[in-house]
Structure 1
Amino acid sequence: MADAPAKPRRFGRRAMIVGGAAVVAGGIGVAALRKGDQGGAHDAYFLRLSKALRDAGIAHPVLVVDRTRLDHNIAAARKVLAPSRLPLRVVVKSLPAPQLIGHVMAGMGTNRLMVFNGAMLADMARLHPDADLLLGKPLPALEAAAFLRNQSAEAGAKVQWLIDTPERLAQYAEIARGIARPVRVALEIDVGLHRGGFPDPESLAKAVAQARANPLLSLSGLMGYDPHVMKMPNPDAAYAEAQDRYRKSIASLRSAGTDPAGLTLNGAGSPTYALHAGKGTVANEVSVGSAFVKPVDFDVSTLEPHLPAAFIATPVIKAQQRFRLPGYEWLSGPINFFDPNTEKGFFVYGGHWLATPVSPPGLEYNGLFGRSSNQELLTGSARVALHPDDYVFLRPNQSEALFLQFGDIALFDGQRIVDRWPTLPVSA
């Protein structure tokens, strides 16, 4: 006997309410996953910069420095440092263009430079023969020896070589004996970053004794770098700890029979120089570089008075009204639904820079398509009305990683491109 047909299931009012609620909740959940439309147009500032680039005939990727904003940042640094009267040492790697470095040196009234490789050291010794040059990282002995052999005794005496270990100190003592000239050395101390240097007062005291045992080595000071402070959960506590470590290092100098008076006691960096100026410091100078152009990685509370002053400008090569993912075209619709900022595709001149798109707003890199140093894809929403030859603007994440990739810097005065500043030769 055949089974009797199943009776239609009847849903009660409660079940219908629960089911309806589930559909609504599902809809709300899907809606919550959608990104907002971030698209828009260039604001007045970037429209002026676009016109200035077009009037200057620049139709290729270029690094732009806004001179007005640069001067604003110099004034901001002077204001921050004024009460403390702390001298400033300009960080060359972060501003690697002779005229840019000279502009900041003049604005800050300083002849102190911090350099990070042999090539830039040689350039600064030539361009600024009266500058005091402190190494910001220890250089291999082979590179230091080559510099000293090729320089006059007077030029060599302007350099403070950074030493981080007893072994490197011995190598530099051997260099001094080989050239039969005094060599100035500054000792790197670990104030909490843990990237090397002498980690405690005891190891520092031994290094001081080792240096004093070599008559051709001249101890010029200490260097304690503290950029980790602003990344800690409690920056104030981290700064206090870094200062305590530095203070104990200075005490170690005294215990070893070395008077710190007259020595270089270098500290800070762009993220923390304002803490040194505002909270007090045992250092007697601060190093600042990136703060003058303020890349993205330096968007920290201590640099709020500073303005972004460096941008990458690059033309759009191709503009697609609807971007389609190659090989997975069917995914483009769902992707556009969940992220409306992927609707249009813009392929720009060059790319794969360590930089963040800033104008027009809402532009994004596309992780599914991938990066390109030839024709970078940026996607945007329907509200982004870019056409071929229009400019896209990005902010460098770090200045030293970008400035040497574009050739001459285009100097913008707020209305026009008024000069081109050559960068230093490419070096690592």
Structure 2
Amino acid sequence: MTTATTSSTEYFHNMSLALKDAGAFRPTLVIDKTRLNENLDHLSTVIQSGFDYRIVAKSLPSIPLLKYIMQRSGSNRLMSFHLPFLFHVVKHLPHADVLLGKPMSVAAARQFYQWHQSLDVSSFEPKQQLHWLVDSVERLQQYQALAKELNCSLNINLEIDVGLHRGGFSADKEEQRTEFNIALEILTTDKDLTLTGLMGYEAHASKMPKLIGGTEKAFKLAMQSYQTCLQCVVNIFGQDFCDGLILNAGGSSTYPLYNKKNNQTNFITEIATASALVKPTDFDVHTLEHHKPACFIATPILKLISNPEIPMVKRLSKCLRTLGFLPRQACFIYGGNWLASPCFPEGSKRAHFFGHSSNQEMYELKDDHKVKMDDFLFFRPSQSEAVFLQFGKIAIYEKGKIIGWWPIFHAEEPTNEEKNNEELA
């Protein structure tokens, strides 16, 4: 047994004992707080060079978890992507400065203000603390009409396309610059709308193959596109105004590429990231080799199976097993079918011949496995934003113990349909 295997075995053995001591006998999402801190320290080395840090709330969907990151990083800046969770953040973290991470329909924006006005008490001030993301002239005009309808001021952050091509403004071509300038002109003349910044997301950069220039070329082009858009803003608003803008960029797979001493990135004012702090498998990229996985799904092994068979074909199953197409050892787990990959016991993998199951999914085990019934099978989530919401409270693991259970996000405000159903009931 290699040192790496011994270390992995000991790590998950200790986590298993902690979960059993804490009474976690169901599928459980676990965050290793020590590894979380180490990953945050890596992020801090970049942030402390002169960038502000905006925490991407969807990737860490838990108020206690966000509070911990905010306290440790010294940042009150959040990025929100889902209207019910925006309500949740505003209610529980009213001191936060919130930037929307994707454009919301004008109906969604209207609903936010209706909800906020319905609160008995709130110290959250949208006029100072909320920035709506706008990706087109049409949407900007809709928000312009909303501001007049509600007689309020809206902060506008313009989404710019710096190479991901997921929408937003661009200034790389003449016709694109024309549309961008139309938006900027609207913002200069409308007293109800305030331009507070730009957001350029360049997640593609870390995934570009070397054959077409790789990360370095993609990132360079992204920053050039960003600066082209910024120059359009300077031309219309002036340099003094632009010195106070939020110039948001970065992501979990690209934040290490930023450096205030580098002319290529020193104009950026803030970096957004969060997934890098827990490192799901989607972020196993070369730019994050120095980060450690810090989130796991632990689920009990309900049944151990020797020489599993395909139903009704016993002889064929034996033949397939001899040929190596069926395992000799397998197990059924509590739950399954998550956006996740098994990571311990080593060599375990989903038994494809049985198909997916969200109830009792089957996993192949090595012939010499050491696990027993009621031990845990561990997974690494592929992402955090969806997976974290499936398991109830998050188990916080530190120094061989589960030290706390942190609740996940929940929707704050029922929809009109739900309200009507409640009234009918």
Q: Return the TM-score normalized by structure 2.
A: 0.87
Residue pair 1:113, 1:132 contacting (<8 A) in 2 also: yes
Aligned to 1:11: none
Larger deviation, residues 328-337 vs 209-218: 328-337
**2:156 corresponds to 1:185:** yes
Query: CA–CA distance in 1 between the matches of 2:223 and 2:8?
Result: 44
Q: Give secondary structure in 1 for the equivalent of 2:79.
A: strand
2:377 to 392, 409, 421: 392
Cα distance change, pair 275–331 in 1 and its aligned pair in 2 (3 A): farther
Aligned to 1:315: 300
2:73 to 95, 98, 108: 108
Query: CA–CA distance in 1 between the matches of 2:161 and 2:45?
Result: 29
Aligned to 1:10: none
Query: CA–CA distance in 2 between the matches of 1:381 and 1:277?
Result: 45
Q: Kindly state the Cα deviation for residue 311 of structure 1 after the two structures are TM-superposed.
A: 0.4
Residue pair 1:266, 1:283 contacting (<8 A) in 2 also: yes
1:56 to 17, 22, 29: 22
The code of the aligned residue for 2:90 comes to: A
Aligned to 1:198: 169
Runs (5+) with no aligned partner, structure 1: 1-38
Cα distance change, pair 304–80 in 1 and its aligned pair in 2 (3 A): farther
Query: CA–CA distance in 2 between the matches of 1:322 and 1:369?
Result: 14
Runs (5+) with no aligned partner, structure 2: 118-122, 172-176, 413-425
Query: CA–CA distance in 2 between the matches of 1:294 and 1:341?
Result: 32
Matches within 5 A, 1:206-245: 206-233=182-209, 234-245=214-225
Residue pair 1:41, 1:360 contacting (<8 A) in 2 also: no
Query: CA–CA distance in 2 between the matches of 1:45 and 1:103?
Result: 24
Deviations 1:392-421 (A, max 9, x none): 000110000101100000111131111100
Deviations 1:139-186 (A, max 9, x none): 111111111123259522211000011111111111111110100010
Q: Give secondary structure in 1 for the equivalent of 2:148.
A: helix
Query: CA–CA distance in 2 between the matches of 1:210 and 1:58?
Result: 56
Query: CA–CA distance in 1 between the matches of 2:271 and 2:29?
Result: 27
Q: Return the TM-score normalized by structure 1.
A: 0.86
**2:59 corresponds to 1:94:** yes
Residue pair 1:183, 1:216 contacting (<8 A) in 2 also: yes
Larger deviation, residues 308-317 vs 328-337: 328-337
Q: RMSD of the alignment, in Å?
A: 2.0
**2:140 corresponds to 1:156:** no
Q: Kindly state the Cα deviation for residue 129 of structure 1 after the two structures are TM-superposed.
A: 1.7
Aligned to 2:248: 266
**2:227 corresponds to 1:251:** no
The code of the aligned residue for 1:155 comes to: E
Residue pair 2:54, 2:270 contacting (<8 A) in 1 also: yes
The code of the aligned residue for 1:156 comes to: P
The code of the aligned residue for 1:275 comes to: L
Query: CA–CA distance in 1 between the matches of 2:411 and 2:368?
Result: 39
Aligned to 1:301: 286
Q: Kindly state the Cα deviation for residue 322 of structure 1 after the two structures are TM-superposed.
A: 1.5
The code of the aligned residue for 1:352 comes to: N
Query: CA–CA distance in 1 between the matches of 2:319 and 2:371?
Result: 23
Q: Percent of counterpart pairs with the same letter?
A: 39
Instruction: Kindly tell me the number of residue pairs found equivalent between the two proteins.
Output: 388
Q: Kindly state the Cα deviation for residue 70 of structure 1 after the two structures are TM-superposed.
A: 0.9
Query: CA–CA distance in 1 between the matches of 2:359 and 2:11?
Result: 27
Larger deviation, residues 380-389 vs 393-402: 380-389
Q: Give secondary structure in 1 for the equivalent of 2:70.
A: helix
Query: CA–CA distance in 2 between the matches of 1:270 and 1:190?
Result: 18
Query: CA–CA distance in 2 between the matches of 1:420 and 1:109?
Result: 23
Residue pair 1:116, 1:137 contacting (<8 A) in 2 also: yes
Query: CA–CA distance in 1 between the matches of 2:40 and 2:96?
Result: 19
Q: Give secondary structure in 2 for the equivalent of 1:151.
A: helix
Query: CA–CA distance in 2 between the matches of 1:265 and 1:329?
Result: 64
Query: CA–CA distance in 2 between the matches of 1:42 and 1:230?
Result: 28
Aligned to 1:6: none
The code of the aligned residue for 2:166 comes to: R
- After superposing on structure 2, the runs of 4+ consecutive aligned residues of structure 1 that deviate more than 6 Å are 39-42
Residue pair 2:47, 2:271 contacting (<8 A) in 1 also: no
The code of the aligned residue for 1:92 comes to: A
Query: CA–CA distance in 2 between the matches of 1:340 and 1:381?
Result: 13
